[in-house]
Amino acid sequence: MNHLETTYKTHDGKELHLQAWMPEFPKAALLLVHGLGEHSSRYVNLAEKFVEAGISVFSFDGRGHGKSEKGKPTAYYESAEDYLKDIDALFGKVKSYSPGLPAFIYGHSMGGGLVAAYVLKYKPEATGVILSSAAIKEAEGTSKILMALSSIISKYFPKLKALKLDANKVSRIPAEVEKYLNDPLVYTEAIPARTGYELLQLMRYIQSHASEFDLPVLLIHGSNDGLTNPKGSELLFQKAKSSDKSLQIFLGGYHELINDLDREEVIQLIVNWVEKRI
């Protein structure tokens, strides 16, 4: 397996950390978009399984995440639209680097929401899409007053630390929670107000345009996910006009299914799904 690391300058001058894992003779390529607060190196185990199947994996640390922007994670970004432009530029690079090969996009959590919105807005020529624990619908019981105030807080106090995520909801495996909490490249403080607001607007857009989603898609979610709402995955599955769509809810599963108790089954499901569409 070949592993490459480099950087990419965005349209607005941000420097993003990129990496790729590639087999000697690839038969497909995949762009992986990580979740809120984390980074691309947390997907090495999944990338290795893809490489074993002959699939190249390209990923990046998003703006405000991981090693990007001088390696000081803040989980802050001004605009989700900028993030979508990053995804579009990097998916274009994946396709140019792997000419003629089937190209897939994988998104987890916030990355899943971003990828869903990217498909709806940019209409990319992708062979298939995998959405893991995607941020498509706000949590049950989210305060309507808080959501109404979010635009004001975002405008005047964009970097205010507004929402703390519970790391214990990442996985049912204590060692995985410890690994998450002790990783210096994982942002574990409260999420900035602007990031939260932009993500909320993104989810609303996906909900209102879900019926336009037309690419082959695999949606996976844990039934006990306490960080993103499984009903969002159910909504997109029901409304998408894709002729090839699958939804798998893992009973009792937490947020990071590839790092949870069912991880071997989950990873095999994902790799098999991609292989069948090559």
pTM of the model: 0.96
CB-based burial label for 109 (10 Å; 0-12, 13-18, 19+): buried
pLDDT for 162 equals 81
> What residues are paired with 20 via a beta bridge?
4, 58
Q: What is the DSSP letter of 157?
A: -
Q: What is the pLDDT along the chain (278 residues), one digit of tens a residue?
A: 899 999 999 999 999 999 999 999 999 999 999 999 999 999 999 999 999 999 999 999 999 999 998 878 999 999 999 999 999 999 999 999 999 999 999 999 999 999 999 999 999 999 999 999 999 998 765 545 455 556 777 777 788 888 888 999 999 999 999 999 999 999 999 999 999 999 999 999 999 999 999 999 999 999 999 999 999 999 999 999 999 999 999 999 999 999 999 999 999 999 999 999 99
What residue type is assigned to position 232 of the chain? G
Residue 58, H or E segment: strand 55-60
Asked if residue 38 lies in contact with residue 32, where contact means CB atoms within 8 angstroms, the answer is: no
pLDDT for 153 equals 76
pLDDT for 146 equals 54
Q: Give the domain extent around 253.
A: 2-275
pLDDT for 139 equals 75
Q: Three-class SS of residue 77?
A: coil
Our count of domains for the chain comes to 1
Q: How far apart are CA 36 and CA 80, in angstroms?
A: 12
**231, two tokens:** 């009903």
Supply the CATH number for residue 114's domain. Answer: 3.40.50.1820
Virtual torsion, Cα 142, 210, 36, 60, nearest 10 deg: -170
pLDDT for 70 equals 83
